[in-house]
């Protein structure tokens, strides 16, 4: 044990060194300093247990030195030497946690007795501290053993027969009661909204923070030893049935605090209350629900309250089809947005079925509106499609934007322009047949009067005139080939009256078919 004497009067320091048998009172080594600066140097290099210091010294007083000692966190005992007996010195010394003070001139016997008493106190405090550390260490290991025991039960490490569980509980000093019931809570970090770098660089620290939050919010002192982490992002807890009252409210508070403090979205899965031997089955059920969860990112999921809702899903897509077919785009977009809310639980299998049904309705609507697939898929929709297999939220976003994309590509202008293209394609593909406006109207799905009026408006020429132009262009191609007589060509193009054909040919080309043929040969 070490002691330091601090006094600016050298004769007092020497007197204390000579007149007190320091080893007899338990001091192993004595250090001296004639000012506060030297004393600080000794504190920084040596371990000091007791300091005897004068209060009044030049430049820096003993009380200033004591203040520095306490600011640095040194826990040594302190005895003050002073020539004054005023209460104000004692009062300030007490505030600085000074153990005692002695008036000068120093009574060596009294100081020796006081130091000896302090040595005894320090030794006693050291023993108590060591015992306390041993107790804390034992409790720490006991808590870890207890936590590991419950995790092994959840994982199914042992048989669930009474004798096995009783023996394993006794190994870690746990009282096992087969009549006691519990409730498993499985907590999964589904999304990191903030502090992603902290999670990636130091996940252990983040786990420590969330565990401490759980102890402050929903875990009782008893339940705290029945909780832990399962992997990097999942936490489990076994709650005693008697502590489960108000559990949902406490879990909601836990989820809110975790998002506020650590920036994470947590889903809490809660199963039914069960006996100890049933915990493994309950835990496996929760793992399965978490693996299948592709929608819920935050909140409480009650496993007992889960239902499939398959009939409701079927009605949804029937309703969507009706809106798309009737070109009621706003209603379709709104319906897509309402497919499920953010707290709805969707399994991976169910999401795949939804995506199949949604893509079918979208492709069906594209065909009805004659939208090419290459034109439909823009970069945004492709990016969403790549990710939606793993997220119900992204699938909903894809469905909404797909409806909007069809709406944008199916505007009035586009529909009418497509009708012109359809008419032209029909005429070209049936050029060697008898073409009527009625046939064209049936092919494009509009009335005869509408297509005739609209074609004239958009192209500046009558539909009948366009048909004649295309037939004469085809006639010119056939005449150029010189493979058959002109009369056969006229008949082939649907003209039963050759004179009528010749008149139309001359009107559109400026020459008769026979003249065109002679000119073609001479060129």
Q: Which residues of 473-506 are buried (b: 16+ CB within 10 A; e: fewer)?
A: ebbbebbeeeeeebeebbebbebeeeeebbebbe
The HSE-up count of residue 175 (CA atoms within 13 Å, CB side) is 4
pLDDT at 42: 94
CA pseudo-torsion sign 292, 296, 297, 301: negative
Query: The domain 414-522 belongs to what CATH superfamily?
Result: Homeodomain-like (1.10.10.60)
The span from the CA of 310 to the CA of 331, in Å, is 22
196 pLDDT above the threshold of 70: yes
| Phi and psi angles of residue 96, each rounded to the nearest 5 degrees, phi first | -90, 15
Q: What is the number of other CB atoms lying within 10 angstroms of the CB of residue 456?
A: 15
* 99 within 8 A of 49, measured Cβ to Cβ: no
pLDDT (tens digit, 9 = 90+) per residue, 86-110?
545 555 655 667 778 888 888 999 9
Binning pLDDT at 50, 70 and 90, where does residue 39 land?
very high
Find the mean pLDDT for residues 253-264.
Answer: 90
- Average pLDDT over the chain, rounded to an integer: 83
The 10s digit of each residue's pLDDT in 483-501 is 788 888 888 888 888 888 8
pLDDT of residue 89: 57
According to the model, what pLDDT value does residue 235 have? Answer: 92
Least confident of 7-21, 114-128, 298-312: 298-312
Class in CATH terms, 2-124: alpha beta
Which CATH class for the 177-282 domain? alpha beta
Cα-based distances in Å from 33 to 36, 54, 92: 7, 11, 22
pLDDT at 361 over 90: no
pLDDT band at 237 (very low <50, low <70, confident <90, very high): very high
Distance CA 164, CA 178 (A): 12
Tens digit of each residue's pLDDT (9 = 90 or more) over 106-116? 899 999 999 99
Residue 344: the pLDDT is 65
Q: Rounded mean pLDDT of 188-193?
A: 86
Q: Where are the domains of the chain?
A: 2-124, 177-282, 310-407, 414-522
Percent of the chain scoring above 90 in pLDDT: 19
> How large is the average pLDDT for residues 167-195?
85
Q: Three-state secondary structure along 39-99?
A: HHHHHHHCCCCEEEEECCCCCCCHHHHHHHHHHCCCCCEEEEEECCCCHHHHHHHHHCCCC
Distance separating the N- and C-terminal Cα atoms of the chain: 125
Are the beta carbons of 333 and 406 closer than 8 angstroms?
no
Q: Phi and psi of 299, rounded to 5°?
A: 130, -170
> Is pLDDT of 130 > 80?
no
CA distances from 79 to 55, 108, 200 (A): 10, 13, 52
Greater confidence (325 vs 314) lies with 325
């Amino acid at each position: 044990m070490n002691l330091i004497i601090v006094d600016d009067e050298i004769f007092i320091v020497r007197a204390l060194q000579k007149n007190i048998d320091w080893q007899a009172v338990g001091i192993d080594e004595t250090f001296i300093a004639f000012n506060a600066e030297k004393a600080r140097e000794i504190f920084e290099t040596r371990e000091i247990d007791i300091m005897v210091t004068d209060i009044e010294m030049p430049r820096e007083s003993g009380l200033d030195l004591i203040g520095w000692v306490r600011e640095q966190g040194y826990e040594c005992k302190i005895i003050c030497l002073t020539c004054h007996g005023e209460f104000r010195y004692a009062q300030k010394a007490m505030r600085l946690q000074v153990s005692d003070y002695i008036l000068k001139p120093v009574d060596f016997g009294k100081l020796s007795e006081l130091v000896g008493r302090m040595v005894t106190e320090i030794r006693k405090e050291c023993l108590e501290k060591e015992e306390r550390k041993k107790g804390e260490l034992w409790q720490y290991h006991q808590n870890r053993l207890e936590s590991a025991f419950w995790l092994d039960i959840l994982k199914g490490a042992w048989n669930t027969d009474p004798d096995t569980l009783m023996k394993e509980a006794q190994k870690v000093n746990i009282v096992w009661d087969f009549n006691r019931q519990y409730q498993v809570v499985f907590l999964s970090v589904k999304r990191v909204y903030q502090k992603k770098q902290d999670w990636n660089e130091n996940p252990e620290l983040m786990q420590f923070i969330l565990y401490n939050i759980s102890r402050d919010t929903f875990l009782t002192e008893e339940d705290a030893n029945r909780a832990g982490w399962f992997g990097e992002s999942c936490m489990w807890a076994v709650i005693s049935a008697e502590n489960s009252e108000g559990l949902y409210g406490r879990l909601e508070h836990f989820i809110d605090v975790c998002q506020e403090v650590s920036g994470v979205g947590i889903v809490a899965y809660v199963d039914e209350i069960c006996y100890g031997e049933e915990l493994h089955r309950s835990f496996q059920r929760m793992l399965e629900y978490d693996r299948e969860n592709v929608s819920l990112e935050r909140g409480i999921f009650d496993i007992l309250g889960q239902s499939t809702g398959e009939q409701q899903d079927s009605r949804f897509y029937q309703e969507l089809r009706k809106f798309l077919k009737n070109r009621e785009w706003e209603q379709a977009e709104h319906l897509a947005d309402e497919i499920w809310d953010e707290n709805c639980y969707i399994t991976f299998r169910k999401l795949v079925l939804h995506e199949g049904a949604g893509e079918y309705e979208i492709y069906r609507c594209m065909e009805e509106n004659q939208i090419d697939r290459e034109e439909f898929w823009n970069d945004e929709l492709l990016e969403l499609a790549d990710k939606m297999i793993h997220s119900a939220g992204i699938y909903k976003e894809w469905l909404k934007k797909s409806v909007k994309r069809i709406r944008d590509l199916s505007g009035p202008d586009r529909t009418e322009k497509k009708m012109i293209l359809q008419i032209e394609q029909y005429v070209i593909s049936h050029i060697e047949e008898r073409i009527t406006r009625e046939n064209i109207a049936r092919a494009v799905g509009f009335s005869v009067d509408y297509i005739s009026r609209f074609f004239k408006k958009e192209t500046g020429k009558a539909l009948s005139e366009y048909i004649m132009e295309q037939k004469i262009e085809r006639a010119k191609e056939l005449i150029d080939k010189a493979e058959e007589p002109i009369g056969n060509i006229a008949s082939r193009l649907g003209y039963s009256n050759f004179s009528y054909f010749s008149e139309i040919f001359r009107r559109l080309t400026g020459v008769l078919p026979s003249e065109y043929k002679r000119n073609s040969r001479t060129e």
